Amino acid sequence: MQHVFSVQELTQAVKGVVEGQFPLVWVRGQVSNLSRPGSGHIYFTLKDELAQLKVVWFKGNQWQTPALESLHNGQEIVCAGRLSVYPPQGTYQLIAEWVQDQGIGRLQAAFEALKQKMEAKGYFAQDRKRPLPPHPQRVAVVTAPQGAAVRDFLRLAGERGRPAAIRIYPSLMQGEGAEDNVIGALEQVQLDEWAEVVVITRGGGSLEDLWTFNTEAVAEAVAHFPLPTVAAIGHERDVTIVDLIADSRAATPSHAAQLVWPLRQELVQEVDEWEMRLDKAWMVQWRHAQRRFAELEKGLGWISPRRRLQRMDKECHRLGHALVRTGRRFVTQQESRAHDSSEALLHRVRRHFGRTATERLEHAGRRLLHCRSNHFNAVAHRLEIQTSALAHLNPKAPLRHGFSLVSRVDTGELVTSAAQVAPEDFLQVQTGDGAYRVRATAGDTAASSGQETET
Amino acid sequence: MTTASTESDQAQWDFEQRLERLQAIVSRLEEENVPLEEGVALFKEGSELAQQCRRQLQEAKHQVEIYAQGVLEEFDPEQGGRGGDAETAS
């Protein structure tokens, strides 16, 4: 006879088998019938197309995991836990110990893995970042032409920069085929050799939406792109691998336009500054020319003959005047000095002798004059007497009476002795009215007759 | 330095070329003594260039093109963006 189990017995037997067979399992499925009662335990059903599994996530097992807050119906998750049988309900269920969003978990892990790989290759290094061209004239934009990103980018670009050309390289930016599309667009940019900088932009989205920019192929394409790259993928909080690799990372598509071009007003200011420098430089040039002209004009004046004559004339006048002035000054000075001296003398005399003394002086002067004339008369008388006496003493006076003066012609000495004369000597005989020469003969004989007579 | 070009050439110049020429003129006037007549001409040209640069900035409009089936076409963002914020290629 077959053993008949009680319900409890059977349930316990199943429980033993199930729990023994599946101590810890990983199971994947979609959340449904999610319930969060006040107890803090979480109940839901994990299902796929063909089966359902009840799951209990007790409060004691709810470790800090992102899935705890975000768990919602329809979500694909992966659960880890023990399979258990619940006898009161006659059901089996999974006692969850770990819950993770399936997509996020996979993508997150892949993101982290790629990030580490790229970092190891040095793709995030700051010294690898190339500066953007200061005033790009040709900008390539890899984006979806129907997206909001390109509109935002172009709107901002319209207020910025010098007139530039923007070329849009259309591409899928998410979903199936986006990866190849983006790489293809980048290749086209490279092939065209037209752009100075490339902007890769798209709007915000979920991690899955942005996934294209976390793939290794796209990351490598950006890392090896020959031109400076600007990445504006999603919103500020969305960070993709491409954002990290690009030379510049913009928070939003609008921000990308700001990074690429300066505000137009700043350019107007730049032009203004150049114009001011132009004005200043020209003023310097102009002044220099003017100064040179003035110098040349002056120089020309100096070498003109008329100016030279005028200058000399002027100089003559100046010297003449100076001469006259100096002469006058000299005369005046002398006059005044003589006047001063005579005044001083008179003053001193008066002071010394007083008035009566002056009178005495004048009297003495008169007496002196008188004395002088007396004295002069006496002297004149004596002079007459002396003159007459002198006349008697004139050696030539006896000659008038026949005496002669004889002197040697050669020496001129008077002959006072016969011894002074030798024969043949010439002698001069001076008479009262003339002279003649004689030649001496021997002895004391008479001299031969005169040869010549002087009158 | 850039040599002076004929007026017909300059009429075709873009902002870059004009600003570059203006900068060259300023450098020349700043660095050397220029014969008066040439200086007058340079100053006049520079002032006109500054004027034209400002006008170009006032009227500045980026030229936007898009590759469509391998051919460059003018791009109107309002038309292109009609599809909302779809991140898809046309």
A154 and B CB contact within 8 Å: yes
What's the gap in Å between the CA of A145 and the closest CA on chain B?
Answer: 6
Query: pTM higher than 0.90 for the full model?
Result: no
Q: Give the pLDDT score at A445.
A: 46
The percent helix, strand, coil of chain A (3-state, each to 5) is 50, 20, 30
Q: Give the pLDDT score at A250.
A: 92
Mutate to test the interface with A, among B28, B88, B90 (most CBs of A within 10 A): B88
For B26, the closest of A174, A264, A278 (CB atoms) is A278
| Burial profile A47-56: b = 16 or more Cβ within 10 angstroms, e = fewer | eeeeeebbbb
CA A257 to chain centre: 35
| Chain A residues 167-226 with a CB less than 8 Å from chain B | 167-175, 178, 181, 188, 202-203, 205, 209
What are the beta bridge partners of residue A405?
A: A430
Q: Is A249 helix (H, G, I), strand (E, B) or coil?
A: strand
Query: In a 10 Å sphere around its CB, with 0-12 CB exposed, 13-18 middle and 19+ buried, how is residue A352 labelled?
Result: exposed
Cα nearest neighbour of B16 on chain A: A162
Q: Give the pLDDT score at A450.
A: 44
Per-residue pLDDT reduced to its tens digit, B24-56: 999 998 887 788 888 889 999 999 999 998 888
Question: CB A296: neighbour CB atoms within 10 A?
Answer: 10
For A264, the closest of B60, B75, B88 (CB atoms) is B60
CA dist., res. A330 & res. A335, Å (int): 9
Q: Is B84 helix (H, G, I), strand (E, B) or coil?
A: coil
Task: From residue B81, give the alpha-carbon distance in Å to each of A39, A132, A158, B62, B76.
Answer: 50, 27, 16, 18, 8
What's the gap in Å between the CA of B20 and the closest CA on chain A?
Answer: 10
Per-residue pLDDT reduced to its tens digit, B3-30: 555 555 777 788 888 999 999 999 998 8
- Residue A74 gets the label, from left (phi > 0), alpha (psi -120 to 50) or beta, of left
Look at B87 and A202 and tell me if their CB atoms are within 8 Å.
yes
Q: Give the pLDDT score at A444.
A: 55
Look at B62 and A168 and tell me if their CB atoms are within 8 Å.
no
User: Which structure tokens are listed for A128?
Assistant: 């690898």
Residue closest to A141 by CA, chosen among B4, B27, B49, B65: B65
Beta pairing, strands A197-202 & A229-233:
parallel
Q: Give the pLDDT score at A104.
A: 66
H/E stretch holding A362: helix A305-393
Number of Cβ pairs closer than 8 Å across A and B?
A: 158
Spell out, as residue ranges, where chain A has pLDDT lower than 70. 1, 64-67, 104-105, 349-350, 352-358, 443-455
CA dist., res. A27 & res. A104, Å (int): 16
Question: CB A355: neighbour CB atoms within 10 A?
Answer: 8
